[in-house]
Amino acid sequence: MRCNSMTSKVTVLWIAGLLISGLGVSQGQDTAQDHGLPLPASGHTWKLVWQDDFSGNEIDTAKWELPNNERRGHLWRADNAYLDKAGHLVMETSKVGDRFASPCLRTRGKYEKAFGLFVTRCRLPKTEGHWSAFWLYNGSVGKVGEEGRDGTEIDIMEWPYRDGRVQHALHWDGYGKDHKSKGHVSKNEALLDGKFHTFALAWSPEEYVFYVDGKETWRTKDGGVCQVPLYIKLSVEIGDWAGDITKATLPDYFVVDYVRVYDLVE
């Protein structure tokens, strides 16, 4: 299947190349942006330092912790996450008994890092009532003072809408009376095509830059920029922000091809 698909793709590219070669358009260049990576600063490259491509038979618990707990009126349930044995993590939202359940994966205590390029390639869920997220967090977000420098929740991708809008957000100084946040919503109707897309954050000591499919969507220094390590989270939340889960067509799936972390090196 894959070979046939590749063959036909090559054939299409070859024919397309014949058709437009007279216009001087080059074909087949494999650039960083094809993989959803923003271009590094001149003279630098992105060095891969951590990844999970979900190619095994079971979720690698040396990398990920999967909680089983109550979560805002629904369940975070480890059994709702599994590998499809075709290289993808499947995060399923479903009804289990009389409860709605979804999964969360986090690298807490296993991999925590400050700064770098954090990327996921994933296929977004379709039905209402739940939202997928790719984010960075640790308990230091609760420290009040120092703005977000001593801990910031960084939401690289949140998908509560079903019209192509995607949110990036920052939260710091806890979640009580001192809570502060900034966010940015961009719209890209291509995200509704049911295919895989990439979401990335380039986090340096000076700023955050967010990307959707390799294109910059938000650049900010809000909160003073977090200076401490955070762990990675992939999660599905159930709640009204995304609509009414009782009207959802379940199960629905958030499918993740990979998570990769890069350092910017000379």
**52 contacts Ca ion (rule: CB under 5 A):** no
Contact 127, 266 (CB under 8 A): no
How far apart (Å, rounded) are the C-alpha atoms in residues 31 and 38?
10
Report in angstroms how near the CB of residue 20 gets to Ca ion at its nearest.
Answer: 54
Name which of residues 206 to 225 contact Ca ion (CB under 5 A): none
How far apart (Å, rounded) are the C-alpha atoms in residues 238 and 240?
7
The token pair at 176 is: 């009580």
Contact 100, 71 (CB under 8 A): no
Task: Choose the stretch contacting Ca ion; rule: CB under 5 A; options: 24-32, 60-68, 141-149, 183-191.
Answer: 141-149
**Which of 143, 162, 180, 182 touches Ca ion (CB under 5 A)?**
143
Specify the residue for token string 């640790």: 138
Report in angstroms how near the CB of residue 159 gets to Ca ion at its nearest.
Answer: 27
**Contact letters (x/-) for Ca ion, 152-181, by CB under 5 A?**
---------------------x--------
Contact 133, 158 (CB under 8 A): yes
**182 contacts Ca ion (rule: CB under 5 A):** no
How far apart (Å, rounded) are the C-alpha atoms in residues 106 and 7?
38
**Which of 53, 65, 112, 146 touches Ca ion (CB under 5 A)?**
146
Report in angstroms how near the CB of residue 84 gets to Ca ion at its nearest.
Answer: 39
Q: Would you state the torsion angle of the CA atoms of residues 64, 255, 77, 141, taken in this order, to the nearest 10 degrees? A: 60
Report in angstroms how near the CB of residue 140 gets to Ca ion at its nearest.
Answer: 7
DSSP state of 8: H
**252 contacts Ca ion (rule: CB under 5 A):** no
How many residues of this chain interact with Ca ion, rule: CB under 5 A?
Answer: 4
- SS3 (DSSP) at 214: coil
Residue 172 or 211: which CB sits closer to Ca ion? 172
**112 contacts Ca ion (rule: CB under 5 A):** no
**Using CB under 5 A as the criterion, which residues of the chain lie in contact with Ca ion when the complex forms?**
143, 146, 150, 173
